Each structure stands twice: as C-alpha cells, then as structure tokens.
C-alpha cells in the first residue's frame, strides 16, 4: 500500500516513479541499452544519458506521464483512488 504522503510533493512522487520504473536497472527507452549514466536533472526528475545512442531521457520518458501537464503526484493520487475505492459490483 502506498502511504498518502507520496501525494504531498512532486519530488517524493518522482522518487517513487524512479524506484518502480527502474527496479531492474535503468535502460534506454529508445534502444533498450543498459549503458546509461546520470546526466543532471530536470525539475524533480533524474536525467540519464544513453552511451549507446547518445540520447537523453528522464524517468517519465516513454510513460503515460511523459507529456502530461498534470503533476505526477496528482496522477498517482488518481490512480491510487481509482484502485482503492473502485468496487465493481
């Protein structure tokens, strides 16, 4: 169960996304290479550089959250509320 303090700040939500998405290690969303290095940050999100294709990406790249104008913490709260309180009868 996700603690509700995750929905309080964008940086905590970004850390949760990073932990869930890269639990098996960081891979490039374009070429699937695991030859990546940290490359600064973009707002609360860690940036990476792929040594194979020289592309940069962050934790949201290639996800449903990538080009959203809605904050990640709001997305996570909405998903949590839907899964927690939606009861199919």
Higher pLDDT, 43 or 37: 37
40 pLDDT band, cuts 50/70/90, is very high
Q: Which of 81, 72, 87, 78 is nearest to 18 (CA)?
A: 72
69 pLDDT band, cuts 50/70/90, is very high
pLDDT over 70 (residue 88): no
Count of the separate structural domains present in the chain: 1
Separation of CA 31 from chain center = 18
The pTM for the full model equals 0.82
Residue range of the domain that includes 49: 4-85
CA pair distance 32, 26, nearest whole angstrom? 9
């Amino acid at each position: 169960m996700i603690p509700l303090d995750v929905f309080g700040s964008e940086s905590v939500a970004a850390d949760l996304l990073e932990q869930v998405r890269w639990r098996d290690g960081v891979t490039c969303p374009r070429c699937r290479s695991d030859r990546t290095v940290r490359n600064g940050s973009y707002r609360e999100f860690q940036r990476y550089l792929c040594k194979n294709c020289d592309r940069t990406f962050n934790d949201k790249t290639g996800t449903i959250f990538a080009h959203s104008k809605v904050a990640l913490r709001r997305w996570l709260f909405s998903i949590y509320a839907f899964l927690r309180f939606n009861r199919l009868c």
